[in-house]
Structure 1
Amino acid sequence: MGTDTRLASADACTLARWIRQGETSAVEAFDALAARIEALNPALNALIRFDPDTGRAQAREADRRLRAGDPAALLGVPFTVKDNLWVAGQRVSQGSRRFADFVAPQDAFAVARLRDAGAVFAGITNCSEFACKGVTVNRLFGATKNPYDLALTPGGSSGGAAAAVAAGLGPLALTTDGGGSTRRPAAHTGVVGMKPSAGLVPHPAGFAEPVFGNAVVGQMARRVADVVALLDAIAVPSLADPQGLPRPVWSRDEADPARLPRGLRIAFSPTLGLDVPVDPDVAAALEAAAMQLERAGFVVERADPAWPAGTGESALMPLQLAGLAALYGDALKRGEWDADPDIAAQIEAGLKLSGAEVANALFARDTFYRSFDAFFTQHDLLLTPTTPCTAWPFTQAGPAAIAGVPVGPRGHAVFTPLVNHCFLPGCSVPVGLDRRGLPIGAQVIGPRLADARVLALAGRIEAFQTHDFARPVTPAATPQRGDTP
C-alpha cells in the first residue's frame, strides 16, 4: 500500500477507504500508528496511556469483521480518548492524583458507539485536572507540548488530544468541551474541533461534570469530513442523558458543504461583540475568511449579538466554581490529594460563594441564551475567532498580553464559553498561520441543533486554505516527556 508514514499520516476517511478496499489492513494501519506514537509521543506527552498489544488485538478483530462482511463505517480507524471519558477496564484519572487508580467500569456512550462502528481504541490523551484549565498540565502526567513548537502549549483542557491529532498520533479523538476545551486547543494546533449542541451526543455514563449542561463530548480530526464521520457514528438519540434527545436530528447529508444555500446569511463578528483585544494576525485571518465566503456567493454581514451589560465568562464562572466545590470541596479540605494549585483555588473560591451568586449566574445564562436566540432569527450562522491569540509558552496559564493589551489568565478564552452556556454548536477550523507559523482558528457558531450546517460551513472555509493542515506536524525537537512548568 505504501510506506508506514503514509498510513500513519492518512486522515480517517481515507484510511477507512483503504482498509475497506483491501489496500491495507487494520493491523498494518495500527502498527504504522504505533511506530509514530513511540517515536513522537515522548516529546509531546500527548498520550498518557498507550497499550500497543491491546490496540493490535482490536485491529485484528476489525480485519475479521471486514472479512465477515461487516459494513461498519470506521472499521480499523484508530481513535484516542481524553483522560476524563470512561473506557472500560482502563485507568481514567481526569488528570488528577485523586483519581490516579480509578478504573472505568464501562465505556462512555460515545466510546461504545465508536467501537460499534469498528474504530480501534488507541490510547488515552492528557488533560488538565478535572478539565478545568486552559493549558494541559497536571501533577500526575506533566505538561503536553504543541507540535508546532515544543516550547508552547496546545491549550486546554483537551491539549493532549489536539497535539496527538495534529502530530498524526491518531486521526480521530474524543474529547470534552465545557467552555472551549475542544475548540481552543484545536485552534492552537491547526486541527478541526467540534463542540456539538447539548444533547446531540448522549453522555449518560462517566464522571460528574462541574457545570450542569455545559460539557459535551467533542470531536477532533485534521479534516472536517473526518469530524462529520465521527459525529455520524455517535450522534444517536438517548434519554438516558438528561439533555438527550428523543429522536434523531443529525443528518450527515446536511453537513455536505456543497449543499449550503447561496442565500445563507452569515454574520461576521470579529470580537463576538465583546470589548476584548484580538491579535492582528488573528483578526486579519478572520477578515480574509469572511471575504472568501462573500466572494463565494454567501451573504456576509458584520454583526454582533446584542448582549446585556456584563456579558462574559466572569458572569458565569460561579457555576464552575460552585460545581467543583460541591464535587471536591470536602476532600480538598481534608487534604485527600495533591491538587493543582489553580484547581484548588477554584474549589476554594466556590466554597465561598452564596446560593444567590450561583442563582444569578444561572439567570445570566438564560439572558445570554435569549440574546443568541434573537440573533439567529436574523442570521443563519456566525463566524468569529476561536481564540484571540495563538499559542503561548506551556509554562504560563495564559498569555500576559494580547495585541499589546494586558489580559488575565482567561484572556485567551473569551470567545468559546458563551457557546457552551447557551447549548449551541460551535466548530473551530484552521484559517491560516500567524507570522511565527502558528495556527489560527475560526469558530463557526449556529443555532442549537444546527450542527450539520455548522460543519458544512466549516468545510467551505477549510477548502479555501492554502496550507495543508491535513498533513501531520512532526515536532522539530525532543525534550523529555512530562516536563512541567
Structure 2
Amino acid sequence: MRLPPARPLRRIAVWRDDARCPVGREVRDALDVAVGLLSDDGVEVDEARPTGVSLDIADEVARRLLAGAVADRSSPLGAEFSGQSHEEWMRAHVLRSRMAAAWRRFFQDYDAVLLPVSPTTAIPHDARSFDERHILVDGVERAYWDQIVWACLTGIVHLPSTVVPVRLDQRGLPVGISITGGFAQDLTTLALAERLVGLVGSLGRPEV
C-alpha cells in the first residue's frame, strides 16, 4: 500500500473531554498547550467531533468486537459481552462501519483531530490481575479499562494516530496527546507531529 502525501495543515479539530471517560486536569492542560501553540503558528483549531460518533457507542462496539476475538471467557477484556450471539457481534460491526463513514465525512473538513491518549498521565505498574486493578484520575478511582477508551474511539475504525509529548506532569514525566488523521493519512499525522514537536521544543529527559 502506498500512502497518500501529507495534507496541508490548515484546519484541525480538538476533542478535549467526554462524559463517558472524563480526562484529568493534566491531560486537559496538555491539549490546551497543543491548541495554543498550533493556533499561534497559524493553524485553525476548532472544538469539533464527527456527527454520529460518540465515545459511549465506540466503547461498547470495541468491547463487543474484542469479546468476539477472545477465546477465554474468563478474560476481563470485553467480558460482559462474552456470551453475545453472532448477530449481536455483527450489529457491532455494522456500527463500526457507520462510524468509519462518519469519520470519513469529518475529515473532508478537517486535516486531523487532537485527542487525549488516556484519561490520565502515566500510571504506576500494577502486577495484580486485571479485575483487581484500577486507575486514579484526579484522585478518583476509575476502571482499569478506562485507559484504552479514548484509543478505541479511533482504533476500531483503523485511523492512524501519532502521540506527541507536549508538557511535563507534576512528577516531571511527559504528557502526550494523540494526533489522529483520516484513514491511511499516516503521513499527515506525522507531519503535524513534527510541526508540534518543533513548537514544543525539548522537554528534557525524565529522571529515573
Q: For the superposition of Structure 1 and Structure 2, which TM-score range results when normalised by the shorter chain?
A: 0.7 to 0.9
Q: How does 1:215-226 map to 2 (within 5 A)?
A: none
Indicate which of 52, 55, 58 corresponds to 1:307. Answer: 52
Q: Tell me whether 1:323 sits opposite 2:69 in the alignment.
A: yes
Task: Give the AA of the match of 2:143.
Answer: G
Considering Cα pairs closer than 8 Å and 6+ residues apart, tell me whether 1 or 2 has the greater RCO: 2
Aligned mates of 1:378, 1:356 — CA distance in 2: 34
Percentage of identical aligned residues: 27
Q: Tell me whether 1:363 sits opposite 2:91 in the alignment.
A: no
Deviations 1:81-134 (A, max 9, x none): xxxxxxxxxxxxxxxxxxxxxxxxxxxxxxxxxxxxxxxxxxxxxxxxxxxxxx
Q: Tell me whether 1:289 sits opposite 2:34 in the alignment.
A: yes
- Secondary structure of the equivalent of 1:462? helix
Task: Give the AA of the match of 2:161.
Answer: G
Cα distance, 1:303 vs. partner? Answer: 1.3
* Cα distance, 1:459–1:399 mapped onto 2, change above 3 Å: farther
- The CA RMSD measured in Å over matched residues stands at 2.6
Task: Give the AA of the match of 2:86.
Answer: G
Q: Tell me whether 1:441 sits opposite 2:189 in the alignment.
A: no
Counterpart position of 1:278: 23
TM-score (norm 2): 0.84
Counterpart position of 2:105: 374
* Aligned partners of 1:277 and 1:405 also within 8 Å: no
Aligned mates of 1:267, 1:347 — CA distance in 2: 30
Task: Give the AA of the match of 2:183.
Answer: R
Counterpart position of 1:428: 163
Q: How does 1:46-445 map to 2 (within 5 A)?
A: 237=1, 248-249=2-3, 251=5, 254=6, 261=8, 264-271=10-17, 275-308=20-53, 310-325=56-71, 329=72, 344-346=75-77, 351-395=82-126, 397=130, 399-445=134-180
Counterpart position of 1:9: none
* Aligned partners of 1:293 and 1:461 also within 8 Å: yes
Aligned mates of 1:419, 1:308 — CA distance in 2: 10
- Secondary structure of the equivalent of 2:75? helix
* Aligned partners of 2:112 and 2:179 also within 8 Å: yes
Aligned mates of 2:175, 2:34 — CA distance in 1: 11
Deviations 1:137-171 (A, max 9, x none): xxxxxxxxxxxxxxxxxxxxxxxxxxxxxxxxxxx
Cα distance, 1:430 vs. partner? Answer: 0.7
TM-score (norm 1): 0.38
Cα distance, 1:448 vs. partner? Answer: 0.8
User: Unpaired segments of 5 or more residues in structure 2?
Assistant: none
How many positions carry a matched residue from both structures? 203
Task: Give the AA of the match of 1:277.
Answer: P
Bigger-Rg structure (1/2): 1
- Secondary structure of the equivalent of 2:13? strand
* Cα distance, 1:287–1:347 mapped onto 2, change above 3 Å: closer
